[in-house]
Structure 1
Amino acid sequence: MHHKILAALTYTFYTIPAISCQTLPSSLQDTFDFIIVGGGTAGLAVANRLSEIAELTIAVIEAGQDEGDNPNVTSVKTFGASPGLNSHIDWVYQTTPEGNADNRQMEYHAGRAWGGTSVINGMTYIRAEASQIDAWETAGNENWTWASLWPYHLKSESFSPPTPAQTAAGASFIDSYHGDSGPVQVSYQYGLQNGSFASRVKQTWQNLDVPFNPDVNGGVLRGFFVWPQTLIREENVRCDAARAYYYPVRERGNLAMLQGKVRRILWADDDNDMNEKGASLTRAQGVEYTASNGDIATLYAKREVILSAGSIRSPAILELSGVGNPEILEPLNITTKIPLPAVGENAIDQPNNFIAYASNLTFTGFVPYVTYLSASDIFGSDIDTVADETSAQLPLWAAQTANTTHSAISAASLEQLYRIQHSLIFNQDVPLIEILTTGIGSNVGSAFFILLPFSRGNVHITSSNPHVYPSINPNYLNITWDAEVQVRSAEIVRRFWGMEPVSSLVGERVQPSMQDVPANATGAEWEGWIRGSFTPNHHLVGTAAMLPKELGGVVDRNLLVYGTENVRVIDASILPAQISGHLTSIVYAVAERAADIIKAEYGL
């Protein structure tokens, strides 16, 4: 049972026939202004906004198909993740053996359909902490701040306030935090668990000095909250990116959806364009892809190639195209077109554990309760000591991480990024852990994960064959402090379930069992269980980071790949650091802003 609950918790980011590539309008055969690789959360948002300009032509290439009538996509009844996990709409990746997790290989999920991962995620709609987005500018991305991104959060969203019954079940909101006319419908589902459980959970957190937060979507996350989802409430169906951004505009004559898997970017013969510093720029002329019938075909781009294939596929396509670290490419007999060592590095995800108890309640409704805690909540009066100790460790951690990056990112650069993160945690008190509290059947429990780990991993190709899956190594818990925070989080979860009023609902701990981790277990024993049982959180970011090149950047502040004239990356891979919220909302906002950046550059 607990595996199903945990899988669901960790995947928290009308029927229409598909258009095949054989039925393209005669004017849209093989040459387009913009080619968008990936018809997912970001790709479809960008396609929608660019195709508003009638004189532009846009092609989207997506490996999956239209799943608009697939009940595994439309259903909102299961807690968190879609029942489509491990089906044909899921890439079903595997991590490498994780050396800090008993050498386990773990499933890594990503959507393969119109809408991408938005068709299989937990539909959670929770934005980042404001100061985390401001830190993007601190790291060198001018004008990427909470204030500059805020209008795009509102532009993308159409929020439905909770009904009186939903309010009674714990739902709340602040009206000024939400948009009311965007493509993405956000609301509370009618299936919220009724009764007193929400008020009991709320009161218990307050007994632990954790406040109720009436709406985390205004840029301040700390506290307890009942979260909304990306769903169409009146139809009781998931509002994925296809429903939000593609179906309403699919009849536009300048927009084409093709099924295929992109193999590589094709480069123009002449590389004579120069950037403002006089350096030569390489121009993409199109992409090579494998069509749905198995044929290898080519599309040509008059203006740009935009990678929106996600944090796993976007860096892999760059590497297959000769953009990356020569130490990785040359052994695979791939000619280095643009040496850019940070491609695929800086991969950051969060390890997710789950503790469950038997309960004297039976849950029939949806229970989406979240609590965000900061370092001061976790360490209390020891906070200054912990801050000083961790600050002293940053050079060592940076050197340790640099050793895992194929010399792609220097220890000095990593330390600079680590110090920004350290300041967010200890000076600005942004949330450091997330605890998801729920009840399913006759069990209650909490998933918990460190939000801002210092551990960094990578995603790289291992073959020049584009059909071979990339190697995914998030390198979870490589920095031991991350594991220490997970142990502290487990202590807080156990303290929560042992406190009134929720303690009266709780029986024996069933995950981990009392045999696996006894009541008098030491911190080391809890850490052993954490390392042996966590699962990926599927919040992978950073593999094509928007950062200055010298800090390990892959794209600049306009999302152009360094060394290229016309290749952009627009998806979660460009996030330069992990966030304390969930990815869906921020990816939509970034995509909306990116479309405006492109329009402005071309005077559109």
Structure 2
Amino acid sequence: MALSQKALALACSICALVSLGTAASVPDHFDFIIIGGGTTGLAVANRLSEVPDITVAVIEAGKDEGKNPNVTSVEGFGGSTGVNTQIDWLYATTEQTHAGGRVLDYHAGKAWGGTSTINGMTYIRAEDAQIDAWERVGNDGWNWENLWPYHLKSEHFETPTQAQLAAGASYEDVYHGRNGPLSVAYQYGLHNGSFASLVNETWQQFGIPLNEDVNGGSLRGFFVWPQTLDREANVREHAARAYYYPVQDRSNLVLLRGHVDRIRWAEGNATKALAEGVEYTAPDGSVKALYADKEVILSAGSVRSPAILELSGVGNPEILESLNIPVKVPLPAVGENAIDQPNTFMTYTSNSTFTGMVPYVTYMTASDILGSETDAVAGEIAAQLKPWAQQVAEESNNALSASAIEHLYQVQHDLIFTQDVPCVEILTTAMGGNVGSAFFALLPFSRGRVHISSANPAAYPALDPNYLMAYWDLVLQRTIAQTVAKFWETAPVNSVAGARAQPPVSDLPANATDEEWDAWVASSFTANHHLLGTAAMLPEELGGVVDPTLVVYGTENVRVIDASVLPAQISGHLTSILYAVAERAADIIKENLGKQRDT
């Protein structure tokens, strides 16, 4: 297919930009403008720019950090050495009402590749029933079967070596793609001692089996997980490395540096709001305009995407009018339905010294963690769904209806207590002379929000995940903590575990009461950085912001493609599902383009 005149003009302009430096400029019109060059933004940009006669611009606040050792490093637990550096947005939550008023750090990547440059590199997919539930709540076509090909399309899986298999790695070949752009592998630095066997055998004492591969849609069990990394180069695999670097010379694709302030709207569109482009602040402080002839795509993440919508006049009229922002699309659910997980860490001294990466995970269901009390607890929680829903509605100033939240809660309750979807994740690791576990309740009932508190685009949004709003979330987190303590006291893993270092026994004695455990959990957990739902893909009457094609309600041509559209929390980790969602979203857009050309 020949290049269009528009694409040829773009190519010539980019060549001029390269040769003339600041004396030349990039064109001000593109078919697609993507706000955010992170995990999803670059994946979508790659796939859209496969069509040579459409033009794509990505605007990203960060810069290329491909040679930054804090990005390339795979050392340490999760390899997240870029946290708290210049490539971290360094958000913070509001004071958390149910956690003693604490303000928690919240990390997100600010670089080509976004948060994939600073995350823990964990590659674990969701449970199949969770994705099927997306369709059950009104998102036609969004189910496990339809998303599955996109998991495979995105992935380039490396078969574990014999040494890695001996160290605990395992896989089912049918669950993995081999030809995608994203490298997924076990690193050569995988710990090669007997620790994996000790952990596995101990979890079996709790009735938890070995799961040969959690990435097939069934998570329950113990597993040694792969990571997003290039095994041969021994470097992190992030979105820029996987999806942008290989295609950055395409003549119809450009990545600009800047901070998007708002979406610009065309005048005179009587039915739905039509985006004509964006305003963004360049690194030199100047405000520029860029025009989209087809679509504006928000891929700025669960904190910033709803904020940009609000700054653009799309959101709750009460919030917008209080900040003197003209209301373009009244959409009260923007920024609501924020869900993250509380993450707690316990460590023990050890009589052994550990080297290498120790990525061990255990997924447990409600019956695994609650035992004979499961049915009684299920009944107690069912009785709380209505009051919790009413509380969420009141705290949103009725931007969300209590009946909608209760309906979504019922779906979640069914997943946990009827479909046995894992609701507990325990990560077991070892570092030097210490062993430990990070753990979190996967499917919290607490709901929060993200909203702007200023019309100034440079001001950070107010981020309130509202951790532990639902008392059950605290109870479950405490129960997991007590289970972790029992785990480290159980043979055979107790042979390598010494005294509890965090929390020290002097602060939380072995015979601590539930109330003492609760106090410790509430005072010590951190954000899990899995925030989602703030531009949820749901029917509008259920608190939705985007429809099943990811178009924002009330707009003609604005889509959101990032974690903010995920309608509910998942039991896996976000990275894998975000790449799959981006891949499918790109195909949805291409199909739409095809229909437009046919007409």
**Which TM-score tier does this pair reach, normalised by the shorter chain?**
over 0.9
2:13 equivalent in structure 1: none
When the two structures are aligned, how many residues end up with a matched partner? 579
Paired residues of 1:20 and 1:258 also in contact (CA < 8 A): no
Indicate which of 431, 439, 447 corresponds to 2:438: 447
CA-to-aligned-CA distance 1:39-70 (integer Å, 9 cap, x gap):
00000000000000000000000000000110
- Aligned to 1:391, the other structure's residue is in SS state helix
- Aligned to 2:102, the other structure's residue is in SS state coil
Instruction: Tell me the C-alpha RMSD between the 2 structures.
Output: 1.4
Q: Does 1:169 align with 2:160?
A: no
2:407 equivalent in structure 1: 416
Paired residues of 1:288 and 1:297 also in contact (CA < 8 A): yes
1:276 equivalent in structure 2: none
Indicate which of 324, 328, 332 corresponds to 1:333: 324
1:359 equivalent in structure 2: 350
Paired residues of 1:187 and 1:230 also in contact (CA < 8 A): yes
Indicate which of 44, 47, 67 corresponds to 1:46: 44
Q: Does 1:30 align with 2:28?
A: yes
Paired residues of 1:484 and 1:527 also in contact (CA < 8 A): yes
The runs of at least 4 consecutive aligned structure 1 residues that moved more than 2 Å come to 19-28
1:432 equivalent in structure 2: 423
Paired residues of 1:36 and 1:306 also in contact (CA < 8 A): yes
Indicate which of 556, 559, 562 corresponds to 1:565: 556
1:185 equivalent in structure 2: 183
Paired residues of 2:342 and 2:526 also in contact (CA < 8 A): yes
The correspondence of residues 191-590 of structure 1 with structure 2, limited to 5 A, is 191-272=189-270, 280-590=271-581
Paired residues of 1:21 and 1:257 also in contact (CA < 8 A): no
1:147 equivalent in structure 2: 145
How far does residue 291 in structure 1 lie from its aligned partner after superposition? 0.7
Q: Which amino acid aligns with 1:528?
A: A
CA distance in 2, matches of 1:26, 1:451: 50
- Aligned to 2:302, the other structure's residue is in SS state helix
Q: Which amino acid aligns with 1:457?
A: G
TM-score between both structures, scaled by the size of structure 2:
0.95
Q: Which amino acid aligns with 2:44?
A: V
CA distance in 1, matches of 2:361, 2:439: 10
How far does residue 208 in structure 1 lie from its aligned partner after superposition? 1.1
CA distance in 2, matches of 1:32, 1:22: 21
Paired residues of 2:73 and 2:79 also in contact (CA < 8 A): no
- Report which stretch shifted further, 111-120 or 353-362: 353-362
CA-to-aligned-CA distance 1:166-214 (integer Å, 9 cap, x gap):
1111000000000000000000001111111010000000111100000
Paired residues of 2:32 and 2:57 also in contact (CA < 8 A): yes
Paired residues of 2:405 and 2:542 also in contact (CA < 8 A): yes
CA distance in 1, matches of 2:359, 2:23: 45
Q: What stretches of structure 1 of length at least 5 have no aligned partner?
A: 1-18, 273-279
How far does residue 233 in structure 1 lie from its aligned partner after superposition? 0.2
CA distance in 1, matches of 2:586, 2:25: 23
1:5 equivalent in structure 2: none
Residues 197 and 392 of structure 1: CA distance in aligned 2, closer, same or farther (over 3 Å): same
CA distance in 2, matches of 1:24, 1:52: 28
Residues 162 and 28 of structure 1: CA distance in aligned 2, closer, same or farther (over 3 Å): same
CA distance in 1, matches of 2:470, 2:463: 18
Q: Which amino acid aligns with 1:571?
A: D
- Report which stretch shifted further, 373-382 or 148-157: 373-382
Paired residues of 1:327 and 1:406 also in contact (CA < 8 A): no
Paired residues of 2:168 and 2:196 also in contact (CA < 8 A): yes
CA-to-aligned-CA distance 1:559-589 (integer Å, 9 cap, x gap):
0000000000000000000000000000000
Q: Which amino acid aligns with 1:387?
A: A
1:4 equivalent in structure 2: none
CA distance in 1, matches of 2:125, 2:328: 37
How far does residue 400 in structure 1 lie from its aligned partner after superposition? 1.2
- Aligned to 1:380, the other structure's residue is in SS state helix
CA-to-aligned-CA distance 1:229-279 (integer Å, 9 cap, x gap):
00000000011000000000000000000000000000000213xxxxxxx
CA distance in 1, matches of 2:141, 2:131: 10
CA distance in 1, matches of 2:390, 2:73: 46
How far does residue 406 in structure 1 lie from its aligned partner after superposition? 2.3
Q: Which amino acid aligns with 2:486?
A: R
Q: What stretches of structure 2 of length at least 5 have no aligned partner?
A: 1-16
TM-score between both structures, scaled by the size of structure 1:
0.95
* Fraction of identical pairs, as percent: 66
How far does residue 130 in structure 1 lie from its aligned partner after superposition? 0.1
Q: Which amino acid aligns with 1:284?
A: A
Q: Which amino acid aligns with 1:406?
A: N
How far does residue 25 in structure 1 lie from its aligned partner after superposition? 12
